Amino acid sequence: MKKASTELELTGSNRKTLSKYLRKYWQYYLLMFIPLVYYIIFRYLPMAGNIIAFRRYRAGGNIFGAEWSGLKYFKQFVTDQTFWRAFKNTLVLNVSYLLVRFPLTLIFALLLNEIQNLKWKKFVQTVSYLPHFISMVIVTGMIRELVSMTGPINTFIQKIGGQPISFISQAEWFTPIFVLSGVWQALGWGTILYLAAMAGINPSLYEAAEVDGANHFQRVWHVTIPCILPTITTLLILDIGGLIGSGASFEKVYLLYNPMVYETADIISTFVYRIGLNSGNYSYATAVGLFEAVLNLCLLTAANRISKKVTGSGLW
């Protein structure tokens, strides 16, 4: 009885403390409540719609499908060569982009951190951040103008004696265009977390390394990089977890590609868009999307476990 009464007293005390904090910091809780509601409404509730991957859905009918179809749509896309082409293109584009962008972002952040002139450093940061805030529609419009038959790149090629290239209609050029434009747009923005991690490094570590005779490069290699390794690991895990996903690249691919470059440009998201919204095969498109999400979750989990074994740090 004494133990039960003590637990009741603690519960009442916790409730009073919680209500006290809610009254005192209600503005912060309100700020937290808004994104929480957003994620519940637009991220978690729509997950119920995944049931139509296992049911036959027709527009205008029951939102959860008319009849049970089991794994029919999963078996259908497994034998669909168009899906596997989109799957391969998604991997090629995302892996190529990761292999180029990830090391360049880290190197650029290290170089920015070494700039001593504060005004020049802020100028470089501002210039490198700006492309991130440009609308994807404008970015793809700029890309189309640059690589058009009468654009500056083809004009330069003609001036040096070459023949103009139809970049936008040749499949082999889509991956370089996608990767290079992505690096230009994301390079500066991707340095923010690295620079924040570097700002928290204890200056005495650099001083001790300098006393020990370490040169500039050695201080970066043996002090800076080990100190920001958890940040590097976290960002790499997140990137690996999205290798199969194509949500972030859907807009650019959709605005740049055309039937002539489907061979290298058609990705899972554009495939789902065509099958689902254009063709009205919603159950099939949902099955493909669900497969993509599960595969991304497996990649994320595997990358996290490997990271914890190799570096000792991970997302969880």
Which is nearest to 268 in space by CA: 241, 281, 286? Answer: 286
Which is nearest to 286 in space by CA: 45, 85, 64? Answer: 64
Question: DSSP state, 245?
Answer: -
**Per-residue confidence (pLDDT) for residue 248, from 0 to 100:** 55
**Per-residue confidence (pLDDT) for residue 143, from 0 to 100:** 93
Q: Within 10 A of 170 (CB to CB), how many other CB atoms are there? A: 13
**Whether the Cβ atoms of residue 128 and residue 187 lie closer than 8 Å to each other:** yes
Q: What's the token pair of residue 103?
A: 């090391």
**Per-residue confidence (pLDDT) for residue 12, from 0 to 100:** 56
Which is nearest to 267 in space by CA: 82, 90, 80? Answer: 90
Q: What angle do CA 252, 256, 260 make, to 5 degrees?
A: 140
d(CA 127, CA 96): 25
Mean pLDDT per 10-residue segment, the chain (316 residues): 46 69 82 89 88 85 81 90 92 92 93 89 91 91 91 91 89 92 91 90 88 86 90 88 73 89 90 88 90 88 84 74
d(CA 150, CA 290): 43
**Per-residue confidence (pLDDT) for residue 155, from 0 to 100:** 92
Radius of gyration of the chain (CA): 26
C-alpha distances in Å from residue 199, one per residue of 44, 125, 222: 36, 15, 16
What separation, in Å, do the N-terminal and C-terminal C-alpha atoms of the chain show? 40
Q: pTM to 2 decimals?
A: 0.83
Kind and range of the H or E element at 68?
A: strand 67-68
**Per-residue confidence (pLDDT) for residue 8, from 0 to 100:** 44
**What 3-state DSSP class applies to 56?**
strand
Sort strands 55-56 and 67-68 into parallel, antiparallel or unpaired.
Answer: antiparallel
C-alpha distances in Å from residue 12, one per residue of 6, 8, 19, 24, 32: 10, 6, 11, 18, 25
**What 3-state DSSP class applies to 124?**
helix
